[in-house]
Amino acid sequence: MIEFPPAFALRMEKSLQHEWSSFIDAFSKEATTSIRINVKKKKITLPNPVLWADSGYYLDKRPSFTLDPTFHAGTYYVQEASSMLLEQAIKQAVNLNEPIRALDLCAAPGGKSTHIVSLLNDDSLLISNEVIRTRASVLSENIQKWGYGNVIVTNSDPSDFEKLTGYFDLIVVDAPCSGEGLFRKDPNTIQQWSEENVLLCSQRQQRILADIWPSLKENGILIYSTCTYNEAENENNLKWLANNNQVEFIPLKLNSDWGIEEVKKGKAIGYRCLPHKVKGEGFFISVIRKKEAAQSVSIKSKNSFQLASKKIKDCLIDWQLPHDYDLVMLDDLIVSLPGQYITEIDFLSRSLKTVLKGTAIAIQKHDKFIPEHSLALSIYLNTSNFKTIELTLEEAILYLKKETLMIGEGERGFSLVTYQHMPLGWVNLLGNRVNNLYPSGWRILMR
């Protein structure tokens, strides 16, 4: 049985009262495992749906995701079910028929960003940000696996966004927190918990909200969430935000059978998931509309992006399915970016530390084009344009480990390798041997 920190147990028992024993009992049960399907890659229906997320499903047991090639192909994302409540917040507060500019501020490892971009209009733009460099690299990898091209990954401090006044229609702040909601899933968080850390987290969350608030448009939507239970990091932060800004809290219409609690404190409204009531872990979310004027930033472009020449476009035109994106040259790297946002992405690239822009298509070496891994995972990849080699499970695992493959003997040229007809990446066939082009930093190490 999990032994809670005494101060945490005292607070929760006082808060839950007669539900305290049910809360304790929930920790004797295993945490659920849930995934969210990438419907742009694979349309499937599984038996146990997450009721508040259209593409979310529970699994009966936790498999080895690392050894599942379809996971690396970006056909699904492993995401905690409670956090998928973000879908209801976005659907009920945002007009998804319109193109919007969205920011996922604390985005690593990528669960919420892949969820957000799946919900947005195809003509929208998502900035997916992570302040810690190593985590930003993981975020970039997961965004590439998901395969959407209208995402920019940045590695910037929240304060860097202050200069983008009135730019975003939607900001999601899944704030770093004390992690009380993860006690069952990750018992190590119990050892790290303290009342002092709760206070520090609350203060840090307020700084983050203060930094990011100017970049939200008038009538724009802020979604604030944590994976913790205490008021200091949840209700009190909402109250602080309301006391210092003009806001409107947006109530959500949620099915009472879901077991999600509505929480009110003054004008603040939030929603809490508790593990004895919800099939998931601890989570808190609130939806806030900005009700004060916000002057929009002036987007100034230095036209630093060089569009690809007609010759290059003609060579690569069949590499992707038709969509309204432009090819730009970043030295010898050819990248596909949403055409309507070229000027803005140029501006953002100079205002923020950019890790990933759109979809890398190819490296140009003289008159030769070497396909990039991002292209293989893109939802716009034109598979009919490339020679394809279907791999067995054993071969797919070898490929993902970046080991030698015995395929395509006697053949030459770049080929797309697939598993269950889902693209995994590229190989270069050299007649008597094969160059495995899987990214070295992504290779799996598990045996």
d(CA 376, CA 267) in angstroms, rounded, equals: 48
What's the confidence (pLDDT) of residue 187?
86
Contact 88, 252 (CB under 8 A): yes
CATH top class, domain 301-376: alpha beta
d(CA 144, CA 425) in angstroms, rounded, equals: 12
Checking DSSP bridges between strand 56-59 and strand 76-78, what pairing results, if any? Answer: unpaired
Alpha carbon 309 to its chain's center: 33
What's the confidence (pLDDT) of residue 300?
77
- How many C-beta atoms surround the C-beta of residue 31 within 10 A? 18
pLDDT above 80: residue 140: yes
In tens, the pLDDT along 20-40 reads 999 999 999 999 999 999 999
CATH top class, domain 386-447: alpha beta
Domains of the chain by residue range: 6-290, 301-376, 386-447
pLDDT above 90: residue 309: yes
- How many C-beta atoms surround the C-beta of residue 245 within 10 A? 16
Token code pair at residue 149: 């091209």
Contact 428, 414 (CB under 8 A): yes
- How many C-beta atoms surround the C-beta of residue 243 within 10 A? 10
Give every strand in the sheet of 76-78, ordered side by side: 56-59, 33-37, 76-78
d(CA 87, CA 100) in angstroms, rounded, equals: 16
Identify the band that residue 46 occupies on the pLDDT scale cut at 50, 70 and 90.
Answer: very high
Contact 304, 265 (CB under 8 A): no
pLDDT above 80: residue 209: yes
List, in sequence order, the alpha helices (H) in 67-132: 69-72, 86-93, 111-119
Q: Which amino acid is at 157?
A: D
Question: What percent of the chain has a predicted confidence (pLDDT) above 70?
Answer: 100
pLDDT above 90: residue 367: no
State mean pLDDT over 421-432: 96
Contact 358, 338 (CB under 8 A): yes
Token code pair at residue 161: 């966004």
Identify the band that residue 217 occupies on the pLDDT scale cut at 50, 70 and 90.
Answer: very high
What's the confidence (pLDDT) of residue 304?
80
Complete DSSP assignment for 216-285:
EEEEEEEEEEES---TTTTHHHHHHHHHHS-EEEPP----GGG-PEEEEETTEEEEEE-TTTSSS--EEE
d(CA 434, CA 427) in angstroms, rounded, equals: 7
Closest by Cα among 54, 69, 81, 77 to 142:
77
What phi and psi, each to the nearest 5 degrees, are found at residue 92? -90, -15
In tens, the pLDDT along 61-80 reads 999 999 999 999 999 999 99
- How many C-beta atoms surround the C-beta of residue 46 within 10 A? 15
Q: Which CATH number fits domain 6-290: 3.10.450.50, 1.10.10.10, 3.40.50.150, 3.40.50.300?
A: 3.40.50.150
8-state DSSP, 361: E
List beta partners, residue 261.
272
Helix (H, G, I), strand (E, B) or coil at 112: helix
**CA distances in angstroms from 372 to 83, 90, 138, 297, 378, listed in the order given:** 32, 33, 18, 34, 10
Complete DSSP assignment for 297-340:
P-------PEEPPHHHHHHHTTTB-S-SEEEEEETTEEEEEEGG
pLDDT above 90: residue 2: no
Contact 348, 152 (CB under 8 A): yes
Q: What is the mean pLDDT of the chain?
A: 96
Helix (H, G, I), strand (E, B) or coil at 36: strand
What's the confidence (pLDDT) of residue 447?
72
CA dihedral of 395, 396, 401, 404, whole degrees rounded to 10: 30
Evaluate whether 301-376 and 386-447 have a shared fold: yes
Q: How is the chain split among helix, strand and coil, in percent rounded to 5?
A: 35, 25, 40
Give all strands (DSSP E) within 124-267, no chain letters: 125-129, 151-154, 168-174, 216-226, 247-249, 261-265
In tens, the pLDDT along 110-135 reads 999 999 999 999 999 999 999 999 99
Checking DSSP bridges between strand 412-419 and strand 422-430, what pairing results, if any? Answer: antiparallel
Closest by Cα among 414, 436, 438, 335 to 380:
335
State mean pLDDT over 231-235: 98
Residue 431 region, left (φ>0) first, then alpha (ψ -120 to 50), else beta?
Answer: left
pLDDT above 90: residue 299: no
Q: State which H helix or E strand residue 12 sits in.
A: helix 6-16
Token code pair at residue 234: 């949840």
What phi and psi, each to the nearest 5 degrees, are found at residue 70? -70, -25
In tens, the pLDDT along 81-107 reads 999 999 999 999 999 999 999 999 999
111-119 and 133-146 helices cross at what angle (nearest 10)?
40
Rg (CA), the chain: 23
Token code pair at residue 276: 């004895």
d(CA 172, CA 247) in angstroms, rounded, equals: 16
